[in-house]
Structure 1
Amino acid sequence: MVHSGEDVWKHFGFTGNPLDPRPLGISDLDRQLLVGRDAELRQFMVLSSNLEGAIVVEGNIGVGKTSFVNAAQHDLAEKGFLPSHQTIEVGETTDPSNLILSSLSNLVYSIEKAHGSNACMKDNSLKQGKQLVASTMQGGWGGQLTVLGFGGGLQRQQTVTAPHAPVLATMTQQLDAWMTAARQKYSYKSGITVVNNFDRLADQELVELLNRSRDLVLLRPNMLWVLIGKIGMFSTLETQARRVSEIVTGQPIVLSPLPLSKVHEAIGVRVKKSALSSKAEFPVERKFVDLLYQVSGGEIRFIFKRLTDIVYEVTSRFPSAETVPTELATRILKELAERRLATLPLTIGDQTILRKMVEAPFRIRDYAKFKIPSQQALSKRVRRLMKMELLQSERKSAKNVAYRTVADVNIAYGSS
Structure 2
Amino acid sequence: MWKDFGFKRNLYDTHPVSGNAQGERLLVGRDAELRGLKNRISGFDTVTTIEGPNGVGKTSIVMVGGFQLYNETLHDGKDSILFLPEPFQLTTEESALDFKRSVYAAIASYFIENENTLKQRLDLQFGLKPLQAWLENPLFINGSVTIGPAGMGGGRTPNESKGFDLHGFFSLVDRLLKAAFSDKGGIVCVIDNLEILNTSQVARQRLEALRDDLFARHGMKWVVCGARGIVRSVASSQRLQGRLQEPIDVKPLSGNSIEDLVRVRVNEYKNSDDALPPVGPTSFGYAFRILHENLRDTLKFCGDFSLWLDESGQVIKDESELDQLFEIWLAEQSEAYMKSLNVPPRAWKLFDDICDQGGSISPSDHEEFGFNSPQYMRGQVQRLEQADLVVSELADSDHRRKTVTVVAKGWLLRHHRSGYEKQLN
TM-score by length of 2: 0.75
Cα displacement string for residues 256-297 of structure 1 (whole angstroms, at most 9, x for unaligned residues): 101041011111111112122222232224442232121222
Choose 1 or 2 for highest CA Rg: 2
Name which of 184, 191, 195 aligns with 2:187.
191
Number of the residue aligned with 1:137:
141
Structure 1 position 255 matched with structure 2 position 250:
yes
Structure 1 residue matching 2:278: 3-state secondary structure: coil
Gap change, CA 1:389 and 1:236, over 3 Å in 2: farther
Aligned 8 A contact 2:276 2:317 in 1: no
Q: Please state how far the C-alpha of 1:234 moved relative to its aligned partner.
A: 4.0
Structure 1 residue matching 2:15: 3-state secondary structure: coil
Partner Cα separation in structure 1 for residue 240 and residue 16 of structure 2: 28
Partner Cα separation in structure 2 for residue 341 and residue 123 of structure 1: 66
Partner Cα separation in structure 1 for residue 327 and residue 263 of structure 2: 21
Number of the residue aligned with 1:360:
357
Aligned residue runs from structure 1 range 187-336, under 5 A: 189-201=185-197, 202-230=199-227, 232-239=229-236, 241-248=237-244, 250-322=245-317, 325-333=322-330
Name which of 16, 37, 44 aligns with 2:37.
44
Structure 1 residue matching 2:306: 3-state secondary structure: helix
Partner Cα separation in structure 1 for residue 191 and residue 340 of structure 2: 30
Cα displacement string for residues 171-228 of structure 1 (whole angstroms, at most 9, x for unaligned residues): 64344223234449xx993111111110122111111111111112211111001101
Aligned 8 A contact 1:367 1:374 in 2: yes
Aligned residue runs from structure 1 range 143-158, under 5 A: none
Which one is further off, 37-46 or 221-230?
37-46
Aligned 8 A contact 1:101 1:171 in 2: no
- How many residues were matched structurally? 375
Aligned AA (2:63): N
Aligned AA (1:204): Q
Aligned AA (2:29): G
Taking only aligned residues, the RMSD between alpha carbons, in angstroms, comes to: 3.9
Number of the residue aligned with 1:173:
171
Partner Cα separation in structure 1 for residue 140 and residue 376 of structure 2: 44
Which one is further off, 370-379 or 70-79?
370-379
Partner Cα separation in structure 2 for residue 105 and residue 334 of structure 1: 49
Gap change, CA 1:238 and 1:71, over 3 Å in 2: closer
Partner Cα separation in structure 2 for residue 271 and residue 93 of structure 1: 42
Task: Name the structure with the higher strand share.
Answer: 1
Aligned AA (2:287): L
Partner Cα separation in structure 1 for residue 295 and residue 171 of structure 2: 41
Partner Cα separation in structure 2 for residue 266 and residue 195 of structure 1: 26
Number of the residue aligned with 2:149:
none
Aligned 8 A contact 1:365 1:375 in 2: yes
Identity percentage of aligned residues: 21
Aligned AA (2:302): L
Q: Please state how far the C-alpha of 1:67 moved relative to its aligned partner.
A: 0.6
Partner Cα separation in structure 2 for residue 260 and residue 392 of structure 1: 31
Structure 1 position 12 matched with structure 2 position 8:
no
Structure 2 gap ranges (5+): 74-79, 147-151, 156-164, 396-401, 419-425
Aligned AA (1:173): S
Structure 2 residue matching 1:76: 3-state secondary structure: helix
TM-score by length of 1: 0.76
Aligned AA (2:413): A
